[in-house]
Amino acid sequence: MSEQGHAGGKKLYLSVWFWLLALTIFEVILAYQRLPLHPMLVILMALSMIKAALIISYFMHLRFERMSLFLTLFPALIFCIVMLMLFFPDAIRLYELRVP
Amino acid sequence: MFLAFLIWIITLITMYGFASGKWSFPVEAATHAHQMDRQFYITLVVCGIIFFLAQMGLGWAMYRYRDRTGAKATYSHGNVRLELIWTAATAILFLTLNLMGQKVWAELRLQAAPAEAIRIEVWGQQFVWNVRYPGKDGQFGRIDARLMSDSSGNPLGLDDKDPAGKDDIVVPTMAVPVNHPVEIILRAKDVTHSFFVRELRVKQDAVPGMAIPIHFTPTRIGIYEVACAELCGLGHYKMRSTLEVLSEEDYQKWLKERAPQ
Amino acid sequence: MPEVAHTHVEHAHPAPTGFIRKYIFSLDHKVIGTQYYLLALFSVFVGLILSVLMRMHLVWPNASIPGLGAIATSGAPGGVMTPDLYLSLMTMHGTIMVFFVLTTAPQGGFGNYVLPIQIGAADMAFPVLNMLSFWVTFLGLLALLAAFFVTPPLSGWTAYAPLSAIGAVAGPGQGGGQTLWIISIALFCAASLMGALNFIVTTLDLRTRGMKLMRMPLTCWAWFITAILALLGFSVLLGAGILLLLDRLAGTSFFVPAGLVVSDQLLTKYKGGSPLLWQHLFWFFGHPEVYIAILPGMGAVSQIISTFSRKPIFGYRAMVYALMSIGFLGFMVWGHHMFMSGMSPYSAMVFSVLTMAIGVPSAIKTFNWIGTLWGGNIRFTTAMLWACGFVSLFITGGLSGLFLAQPIIDVYLTDTYFVVAHFHMIMGVASIFAIFAATYFWFPKMFGRMLNEAWGKLHFWITFIGVYAIFIPMHFLGIVGNPRRYAQFTEFDFLKPFIPVHHFISVVAFITAGAQLIFLFNFFYSLKKGPKADINPWECTTLEWTVPSPPPHDNFEGRPPAVYHGPYEYGVPGAEKDYVMQTDSTPLPVATGH
Amino acid sequence: MSSTDVQYTAGASVWDGGTSPYAIGSKKLGMWLFIIADALTFASLLITYSYLRTATDNWPRPFHAWPSITMATVMTFCLLSSSVTMVFGVAAAARNERKRSAMWIVFTILGGLAFVVLHLNEWRGLIEEGVTPFNNPWGVPLFGAAFFTLTGLHMTHVIIGCLYLSVIAFAFGRGKFSAEDVEVSGLYWHFVDLVWMFIFPMVYLLSNSMVGAH
Ligand code: HEA
Ligand code: HEA
Ligand code: CUA
Ligand SMILES: [Cu+2]
C-alpha cells in the first residue's frame, strides 16, 4: 500500500488533469462541427475512452499496480460491454418494424 | 449399484416413451412443417444415442466399480488424449446438427414473403384474437388507438374517414386458402401475446408497438386451434381462436360472407 | 515447496459471546453460511407447497381445498383457486426457487461455510459485508412474501413488460404486489453483489500457503467462477430493475410502447419504449443466472464423486477449464430465450451456434464424472447416490436443451411444457440433487452429527423415481404442443385428451413432495440425536476435514495450515492410507505428473 | 475468467497462496470489484439509452451552447478538479500527513458539492421548461426519462461519495482509519468522475442543438 503511493509526483497529476481538461474542451468544440451523428459518436467515444484510460491509469493508480490486477478486472468488464452491444441489431429492427 | 439398474430402467422407459410414436407432433399442415419435424427427429436420434450411451455408461461404471472388498481404485489423473477426442467429437457433432437446422430457419425467417402472399393482420389483446383482412383493395385502412373499443364493435379502431379502411374485414377467427402463401402481420394492443398454431408449426410473439411479419403456406384443409403462448394475464389459458384452411372457392365464399356492406 | 513470504491477514474479530452477536448478527462465515442454508430450506418448502397447490389447480380447477379459503380470501373464494391465483402461485414458485433457493443455498450457504475453510482462511475477506449480504437477502425474501399478501403478482418469474410495467390495469396482481416483487429482486441483486465481491476477494487473497490455484478443490473453483458470473450478471439486472421500477412509479416508459389499449382504455401515459429491451436485459442476466444455479452443484458433485470413488478426479485441469468456458459462453447465449420474441432472426442464428457450443464443456464435465467413477472402488453413501443422480439428471436435462437451442425446433417447442420439462430436469431437480448431495456430505462438518443414512436412502429412491416420473411426461406434453403458464387445460379441444397425463404428473408430484418430509425429519432429528461425527468421516482429503466438526470460531485457531498436494489424492499407490490429505507434508510415493 | 489462467501460468509464485497476488490490500481489491459491477450497471443504463435512441426517430437535441453545454462543461471541470485534489489527498495520506490529507479531501468534497449544486440548478431549469420523466416540449418523452435516470443515478453516486468522503476526512484527520482507507475512497471518487466522462458526451454533447439528424 505504500510503495506505489509515491509513484507519481504532483507535476504528473497536474499534467494529467490538464490533458483531461484539454480533451474535454476539444470534445465540446468538436460537438459544434456539424458532423453527422455516427462519426461524431465514434470520435467522442474514442476521446472518452482516452480520458477514461488517463483517469484509470494515473488517478486510480492502475499503471503502478501489477499487470495481473488489470488483467483480472478489465477483460471481463470489456467483454460484458461488448456483449451488451449485441442489443443493437434489435434496436434497428425495432426501428424498422415499429408502429406508432 | 441398485441405482445402476434403476438408471438403466428409467433410460429404457424414457426412450420407449419417445420412440413409441404415441407422443408425436400433430399433423403437418404447412410446407415447412415436414422439414421442421425432420430436424426434430434427427436431433432426437442423435440425442437419443448420446442419452443411451451416457446413461448406460454411468450405470455400468457404478455397477462394475461398486465397493468390492479388498479392491483398490486405479490411480489415474485422467487421460488427455481421450479428453481431446471426445471434446472434438462432441464439438463436431453439435456443430453439424446446428448447421442443418440453420438452413431451414433461414428459409423460413430470413426470406421475405412471396409477392403473391395474402396479407392478414392478426391482433392479440387480453384475451382474444382479432383478425383483419384488407378487403378487395388490398389496402389496410388507417387505425387510431383512440377509436379502439370492443364495446362499440370497433376493436381495432378503424378510422372510417380513411377510404382504404371501408372494405376491411375484422373478425375473431381466421381463414386462409390452401396451398397459397400467407403473410401474417402480428400486432398487439396491450401486452405481449404469442400466436401459436400447432398444425402449421407456427409460433411468434405479438409485441405491442411492433408489427412483426411471418409467412407460411398451408397445405392441408381443416380447422385448427389458435392458442396464445406468451403469458398475458389471467385469461391467458383461454385466449383461443380458430384458423380454417379452406379450398380456394370456400375461401372466397368465406370472405364474401364477411365483407362489410 | 518454494517458501513464500507469509503475510496472512490475522483474524480481526474475537469470538463473540452474546447470543445476538453469535447467532443473529454474527460475523462468522460459518454462522452466516448456516443462516443462508436455513433461509433456503425455508424457501424451498414454501416453493414446494406452492408447486403442490399449482398441480392441484391444474387437474382439479374447481375443487375446494379446505382451509385455503381462509388464507387467500380473494384468490381462493371458498377454497377454490382462481386462475389468477394460479398464476401468482407460479410466479412465486419460480421466483422463490430460482432466487431464494438456488442462488442462496449452493453459494451463500455451502460456499460461505466451506470455501474459507477449504482454502485455509480464518473467515471471509469482509465479514461485515458478508453479514449485510445475508440480511439484505432476508429483507428481499420478506418483500417477496409481502408481495404475496398484498396483491400477488402474476407475470411469471421473468416479469415481461408491459404486463409487469403498466400496473393494475393489466390484471389484479399487477398493482402493489408487482412493485414489491421488483423491490425484492433489486434487494436480492444488491445482496448478491456484496456476496460475489466477497467470494472473489476471499478466493484470490486468502488462500493459505501452498494453496495454488490449481490445487484448489473443484468446489472452490466453482464458487469462484459463480461469484464472477454473479458480479457481472446481477449488476445488469440491478440496472434493469431500476428502470422497471421507474416505469411503474415515475411514469417513464422504457419498456412500454405508446398507444396501448388495455380493456378499452387508452393508456396515454406511456410513449415509445420497447418490450424487447426488458427481455434482453433480463436474459442477459437470466442465462448466467441458470449457471449460477448449477455451477456450485457441479463443484460439489465433482468433490463427492471423487471422494467416494476413492479415485482422483478425472482430468482436473479439464474440469477447471470447462467451468471457465461454461461461465464465459454463458454470457453469450441469452438470446436463446428470445428466438420467438420478435428478435432479429440473424441474431437468433448467432445465439443458436453459441448455445450449442455450451454443450461441449458440459459434455467434458459429464465424461469426466463418468471417467472418475470408472475404475474406482465406489462407496455408495447417501451423498454419493445424490451425486450420481445429479449426473443422470444433468444428462437428461442438458440434452433437451439442445432441442430448444435450435430456433427451427424452438418455434414449436418454446413456451410449451417441453421447456418446463427441460428446466425442471436440469435446474429444478439436478441442482437440487446437488444441494442434497452437499447436505449429506457436509452436514457432519456443519453440525457435528451424522445424518441418518437409511432414511437418506429412502428419501433418495422416492425422489429419484418421482422426479423422473413427474418431468419425463412433461416432454411428451410439450411435443403435443401443450403451452406453459396455462391455469387450466379445459378451454382447448386439443388439450383435453392429455388431462389424464396431468393427473398422473400431479399424483406423482404429491407423493414426491410428501417424501421431502422424510428429509425434513431426518434433518432436525439428526441435528439433535444423530451420532457424533468424527473429524473426517468420509476420509476426504480437503482442508475442512482437518478441523473439528463443527470447526472452532476462526477455523484453524490462528494456525493456518500449509498445503502440499492437489485436492484429490485417493488410492495413491504405495501410500500408507488410501488417501493423502492436502496438508500431509510427506511427498507422494510416486510421481503424479503434478 | 480466462484471464485467471493466464495469470496462473505467468505469475509463478505469487499465486501460490499465503499472500495477495496483486500486492494490494483486500479492501482495495474489493473496491475495484465493486467498481466493475457498478460500471456494468451504468453500462446497462447507457445501452438502454442508446438502444432507445437508435430505435426512435427525431431524438430531441435541445441543449444550447448556453446555458446547458457551458454549464455541463463547468461541471466536468469541477469533477475533474476534485479528482486531482483527491489524488493529492491520497498522496498526503500515504505520507501520513493526516491533516493535510483531510484538507485535500475537503476540497474534493467542495468540488463534488459544486457539481451537485450546478446540476440541480440545471435540472430546475429543465423542469421549468417542462421536461419531466414522461414529457418534454420537444416530443419523444423518452428523452426526459433517459436524461433524468442517467444523470439522477450519477448524481446519487456523487452525493453518496460526498458523504463517504466526509466520514473519511473527518475520521482520518483525527487519527482513525489507515491510508489504505483513504486510497479506497479515492478509487470510488475517481470512478464517479469516470462515469461522467461518458455521460457528458453521450447525453449532453450528442444532444446539442447542432448535431446532425438521427
Ligand atoms: C440450471 C439451469 C439450467 C441449465 C444448466 C441449462 C442448460 C442449458 N439450457 Fe436451459 N433453461 C433453464 C435452465 C437451465 N438450462 C431455464 C430455467 C429455462 C427457462 C426459463 C423460462 O423461460 O422460464 C431454460 C430455457 C432454455 C431455452 C429456451 C427455451 C424457450 O424458452 O424456448 C434454451 C434454448 O436454447 C435452453 C438451452 C439450454 C442448453 C443448450 C443448455 C446446456 O448448457 C446444456 C448442456 C448439457 C448437455 C448438452 C448434456 C451434457 C452431456 C452430454 C452431452 C453427454 C455426452 C455423452 C456422450 C456423447 C456419450 N434452455
Ligand atoms: C429450483 C427450481 C424449481 C424446483 C425445485 C421446482 C419444483 C417443482 N416444480 Fe417448478 N418451476 C420452476 C422452478 C422449480 N420448480 C420455475 C423457474 C418455473 C417457471 C415459473 C414461470 O413460468 O414463471 C416453474 C414452473 C413450474 C410449473 C409450470 C407452471 C406453468 O407453466 O403453468 C409446474 C407445473 O407443474 C411446476 C411444478 C413443479 C413441481 C411439481 C415441483 C416439485 O414438487 C418436484 C419435486 C421437488 C423436489 C424433488 C425438490 C424438493 C427439494 C427440497 C426439499 C430441497 C431441500 C433444500 C435444501 C436442502 C436447501 N413448476
Ligand atoms: Cu395472450 Cu397469452
Ligand atoms: Cu438460457
Q: What is the 3-state secondary structure (H, E, C) of C168-182?
A: HHHCHHHCHHHHHHH
Tell me how far the alpha carbon of residue C517 is from its chain's centroid.
20
Contacts of C412 in chain B (CB under 8 A): 25, 36, 40, 198, 201, 203
Chain centroid to CA B212: 15
Percent of chain C with pLDDT over 90: 63
Minimum CA–CA partner of B228 in chain C: C483
Q: Is B178 in the pocket of ligand 3 (CB under 6 A)?
A: no
DSSP-assigned letters across all residues of C138-198? HHHHHHHHHHHHHS---STTTT-TTTTTSGGGG-GGGTHHHHHHHHHHHHHHHHHHHHHHH
Find the mean pLDDT for residues A65-81. 88
Task: Enter the C-alpha cell of residue D163.
Answer: 458523504
Residue D13: which region, alpha, beta or left (left: phi > 0; alpha: psi -120 to 50)?
alpha
d(CA C272, CA C171): 22
User: Distances in Å between the alpha carbon of D154 and those of C253, C320, D37, D113, D165?
Assistant: 20, 38, 15, 13, 16
* Nearest ligand by distance to the CA of C521: 2
Q: Is C414 in the pocket of ligand 1 (CB under 6 A)?
A: yes
Average model confidence (pLDDT) for chain B?
Answer: 87
Average pLDDT for chain C? 89
Q: What is the pLDDT of residue C10?
A: 43
CA–CA distance, A30 with A19 (Å, rounded to integer): 16
Q: Which atom of ligand 2 is nearest to the CA of C293?
A: 1
C-alpha atoms less than 13 angstroms from C-alpha of C44 in its C-beta half-sphere: 24
The vertex-C312 CA angle with C307 and C315, nearest 5°, equals 125
Q: One-letter amino acid identity for C48? A: L
| Chains with 3 or more CB pairs under 8 A to chain A | B, C, D
The type of residue at B58 is L
Question: What is residue C508's predicted lDDT score, i.e. its pLDDT?
Answer: 95
Q: How is residue C402 written as a grid cell?
A: 439442445
Please, are residues A31 and D205 in contact by the beta-carbon 8 Å criterion? yes
Within an 8 Å CB–CB cutoff, is residue B65 touching chain C?
Answer: yes
Residue C580: pLDDT above 70?
A: yes
C29-59 and C432-447 helices cross at what angle (nearest 10)?
Answer: 140
pLDDT score of C408 more than 70: yes
Distance between CA atoms of C43 and C500, rounded to whole angstroms?
Answer: 30
Determine, for residues C331 and A80 on separate chains, whether the beta-carbon distance falls below 8 Å. Answer: yes
What gap in Å lies between CA B137 and CA C158, rounded to an integer? 42
CA distance C138 to C191: 9
End-to-end CA separation in angstroms for chain C? 13
Look at residue B261 in the predicted model and tell me its pLDDT.
67
Among C566, D197, B228, C452, smallest CA distance to A28 is for: D197
Closest CA to C189 of D46, D38, A73: D38
- What pLDDT is recorded for position B165? 81
pLDDT at B245: 94
d(CA C114, CA C292): 17
Compute the distance between CA of residue D75 and CA of residue D197 in angstroms, rounded to an integer.
11
Is the model's pLDDT at C412 over the cut of 50?
A: yes
Q: Which grid coordinates belong to D214?
A: 438521427
Answer whether residue C279 shows pLDDT above 70: yes
Of the candidates C179, A37, C359, C52, which has an alpha carbon nearest to the alpha carbon of residue D57? A37
Task: State the Cα–Cα distance between residues D80 and D78, nearest whole angstrom.
Answer: 6
Q: Are C122 and C560 in contact (CB under 8 A)?
A: yes
CA A57 to CA A68: how far, in whole Å? 14
Q: Given 3-state DSSP classes, what are the helix, strand and coil percentages for chain A, each rounded to the nearest 5?
A: 85, 0, 15
Is A55 within 8 Å of D69 when comparing Cβ atoms?
Answer: no
User: C331 and A86: CB-CB below 8 Å?
Assistant: no
Q: How far apart are the first and last CA of chain B?
A: 77
- Whether the pLDDT of residue D4 is over 50: the answer is no
- C282 CB-side CA count, 13 A: 20
Closest CA to C44 of C432, C377, C312, C392: C432
Asked whether C285 and C233 are in contact (CB, 8 A), the reply is: yes
Residues B211, A94: C-beta atoms closer than 8 Å: no
- State the pLDDT confidence band at C3, using cuts at 50, 70 and 90: very low
The pTM score is: 0.94
Cα–ligand 4 centroid distance for D42 (angstroms): 24
Residue B158: its pLDDT value, please? Answer: 85
Q: Are strands B212-216 and B182-188 parallel, antiparallel or unpaired?
A: antiparallel
Q: How far is CA C514 from CA A72, B236, C42, C44, in A?
A: 47, 30, 16, 13
Give the C-alpha separation, C509 to C217, whole Å: 36
**Would you say the CB of residue B232 lies under 6 angstroms from ligand 3?**
yes
Pairing of strands B202-206, B169-171: unpaired
Distances (CA, A) of D85 to A1, C111, D115, D135, D187: 19, 41, 15, 39, 13
Q: How confident is the model at residue D107 (pLDDT cuts 50, 70, 90)?
A: very high
Does the pLDDT value for residue D2 go beyond 50?
Answer: no
| Residue to mutate (ligand 2; options C432, C433, C461, C510; most atoms within 8 A of CB) | C432
What would the mean pLDDT of B17-24 be, rounded to a whole number?
73
Give per-residue pLDDT as tens, C529-560.
889 988 889 989 899 999 988 898 888 887 88
- CA nearest to A50 within chain D: D197
* pLDDT for residue C526 is more than 70: yes
Ligand nearest to the CA of C50: 2
Q: Is D170 exposed, middle or buried (0-12, 13-18, 19+ CB in 10 A)?
A: middle
Question: For chain C, how many residues are written?
Answer: 594
A55 and D193 within 8 Å at the Cβ level: the answer is yes
What digits encode the pLDDT tens for the residues D143-160?
889 999 999 999 999 999
Nearest-CA residue for atom 17 of ligand 2: C94
Tell me, what's the pLDDT at D61?
81
Residues present in chain D in total:
214
- Average pLDDT, integer, range B77-102: 84
DSSP one-letter string for B25-42:
PPPP-BTTHHHHHHHHHH
Residue C154's nearest CA partner among C58, C83, C88 is C88
Taking an 8 Å cut-off on Cβ atoms, the answer to whether A90 and C280 are in contact is yes
Whether the predicted pLDDT of B70 surpasses 80: no
Residue D140's pLDDT is: 80
The answer to whether C91 touches C151, Cβ cutoff 8 Å, is: no
- Best mutation site among C291, C426, C475, C479 for ligand 1, i.e. most ligand atoms within 8 A of its Cβ? C426
Indicate the pLDDT class of residue C4, thresholds 50, 70 and 90. Answer: very low
The answer to whether C384 and C369 are in contact (CB under 8 A) is: no
Span C8-29, pLDDT tens digits: 444 455 666 677 777 778 889 9
- Grid cell of B254 as nine digits: 368465406
- Binding site membership of B230 for ligand 3 (Cβ less than 6 Å): yes
Residue D176 has a pLDDT of 84
CA distances, C475 to each of B6, C470, C471, C482, C506 (Å): 20, 10, 7, 10, 15
- Tell me, what's the pLDDT at C559? 82
Query: Which cell is D50 given?
Result: 442508446
Residue C7's pLDDT is what?
Answer: 39
* Segment C58-66 mean pLDDT: 83
pLDDT at C353 over 50: yes
Ligand 3 pocket residue status of B228, Cβ below 6 Å? yes
Spatial separation of the C-alpha atoms in residues C357 and A79, rounded to whole Å:
18
**B154: DSSP letter:** B
Task: Tell me the per-residue pLDDT of B167-220, one tens digit each, with 9 for 90 and over.
Answer: 888 999 999 999 999 999 999 998 999 999 999 999 999 999 999 999 999 999
Neighbours of C548 (CB within 10 A): 13
Position C262 pLDDT exceeds 60: yes
Quote the distance between the C-alpha of residue B48 and its chain's center.
22
CA–CA separation, B177 and B249 (whole Å):
8
Sign of the C-alpha dihedral, residues C191, C196, C199, C201?
negative
d(CA D60, CA D143): 7
Mean pLDDT of D182-208: 91
Q: C577 pLDDT exceeds 90?
A: no
Q: What is the pLDDT of residue C590?
A: 59
D10 pLDDT more than 60: no
Ligand 3 neighbourhood includes B124 CB (under 6 angstroms): yes
Residue B27 has a CB neighbour count (10 Å cut-off) of: 12
**C261 close to C163: Cβ distance less than 8 angstroms:** no
Q: pLDDT tens digit string along C281-337?
A: 999 999 999 999 999 999 999 999 999 988 899 989 999 999 999 999 999 999 999
> What is the percent of chain C with per-residue pLDDT over 70, rounded to a whole number?
95
Average pLDDT for residues B23-39, to the nearest whole number?
86
Q: Does D20 touch chain C (CB under 8 A)?
A: yes
| Phi, psi angle pair for D148, to nearest 5° | -70, -35
- The answer to whether the beta carbons of residues C247 and C159 sit under 8 Å apart is no
Identify the pLDDT of residue B1: 58
